[in-house]
Amino acid sequence: MTLFDKVLIANRGEIAVRVIRACRELGIKTVAVYSDVEKESMHVRLADEAVCIGPASSQHSYLNIPGLLTAAEITDASAIHPGYGFLSENANFAETCMSSGIVFIGPSPENIRVGGDKSRARDAMKKKGVPVVPGSDGVIDSEEEAVKIAKKLGYPVMFKAAHGGGGRGMKVVESEDDLRHAFNVAQREALTAFGIKDLYLEKFITELRHIEVQIVADNEGNVVHLGERDCSVQRRHQKLIEESPAPMASEKFRRKIGELAVKAARAINYRNVGTVEFAVDPDWNPYFIEINTRVQVEHPVTEAVTGIDLIKEQIRLAAGQPLGYKQAQVTTTGHAIECRVNAEDPFTFTPSPGKIDFMFLPGGPGVRVDTASCAGSIVSPHYDSLVAKLIVRARDRQEAIARMRRALDEFIIEGIKTSIPFHQLVLKDPDFIKGNFNTGFADRLNGKQS
């Protein structure tokens, strides 16, 4: 089966560059789209063609569905890769592509819909025996109902917006008094942020690890997992460091969480590349959180230990090719770590947009940098603050840590503040080195600093 002649990339920044690279290697022509402040950007330079689709504001450019589809039409692109963020988890966009005769490189619109509705996804998992964080059955309609459920779960509990994501729409509640007050506030917040006020309630696990599993699935229903990633180093629910395999995890646990992820994917008849996220308690019990129906920022970590190019897999699977390998044929070797280098103050995390005056990328054995920036690039306040992803691979975790420290020390970015100093601190921290950390780690580390 042939792949596509030409793919339009409905994204910007490093992920657009990443997709262009995969297409190039597959012999597929590429079309970049850009907002009128990004004419000089790297994805525009690297693509075979580029179309300006709107002004700087994402709403009128990278989220402009008619503009994107028209750009695909006038350039004769037969498929669209959505990257991550923007329209990647918009079922309506996936559907509109299909009805315009353009292949959406990703899962089915129905997969996206279930993935985006967390209470629906939870219900689907419970039915198939995938453990979920103890909580409400579906959406909570009243304060009284919330009080009753919270009493059963035991405090602390957490309100979550059914249509939330990216760390937003969550509210932790410590007591019944708090809960009565928080219910209405959380509903209002959900409505403002996501347009739908639906909430559900979960037990809040304080000392949890965030561990997720990469899955790949073809149109014939073959599902394989590509191992796990620990993404516990977070601040305000935003991931900062990811690694694979998960530190301190036993082989038994790794096998179990992988199998659960495959079960989760099957439960919703999942297609293409995706990620199943779990909260893992201190006794290594995994609970399903959600399924991400797109390629993730941290996908290179999995690529590094499996040798599988996930973007090429997305394209291949979207073109209808079969997976072509079985679970037993997937092996992971060594250890990989990724640090997200953001344009922000390393300790207060306030954004630091501006011009990059000078940039030197680390290199040498086992080092990969995914970026769309170079000296002279502008980090625009219009878009997210990710400047580069630094990924290292080594024989084991100890060597990977040493390599990451070495690479961070080599990395020079001048003109803007970046999170490199934060990463340097983490990579020296005794608890991080031991692998003894959870989602509270980054805040505690910041506490030690101030």
Partner 1 sequence: MMELDDLKELINFLKNTDITEVSIETEGTKVRLKREHLIAKAPKAAPAPMHVEGKEEHPHVPAHADEDDSHRLITITAPLVGTFYRSPSPEAAAFVEIGDRVKKGQVICIIEAMKLMNEIESEADGVVSRVLVDNSQPVEYGEPLFLLEPIQ
Interface contacts to partner 1, rule CB under 8 A: 36, 51-56, 61, 66-67, 69-71, 73-75, 100
Tokens (6 digits) for 63: 């989220």
| Minimum distance of partner 1 from residue 69's CB (angstroms) | 6
Cβ nearer to partner 1, comparing 41 with 232? 41
CB nearer partner 1, residue 60 or residue 406: 60
Sequential DSSP letters for 403-419: HHHHHHHH-EEESS--S
Nearest residue (CB) to partner 1, 54 versus 82: 54
Judged by CB, which is closer to partner 1: 36, or 141?
36
Shortest separation between residue 76's beta carbon and partner 1, angstroms: 10
Specify the residue, 78 or 100, whose C-beta has the smaller distance to partner 1: 100
Task: Please name the residues in contact with 108: beta carbons below 8 A apart, sequence gap of 6 or more.
Answer: 94, 271
Question: What's the min distance (Å) between Cβ of 88 and partner 1?
Answer: 20
Least distance in Å: CB of 49 to partner 1?
10
Closest CA to 125 of 280, 256, 264: 264
Question: What is the Cα–Cα distance from 161 to 199, expressed in whole angstroms?
Answer: 5
Spell out the residues 6+ positions from residue 11 whose beta carbon is closer than 8 angstroms to its own.
19, 43, 62, 81, 82, 83, 84, 85, 86, 88
* Residue 294 annotated in active site: yes
Question: CB of 268 within 8 A of CB of 276?
Answer: no
Q: Exactly one of 294, 316, 368, 403 is catalytic; name it.
A: 294
159's CB contacts (< 8 A; 6+ apart) are: 146, 170, 171, 173, 182, 183, 186, 199, 200, 201
- For residue 75, the minimal CB distance to partner 1 (Å) is 8
Point out the residues that are catalytic.
294
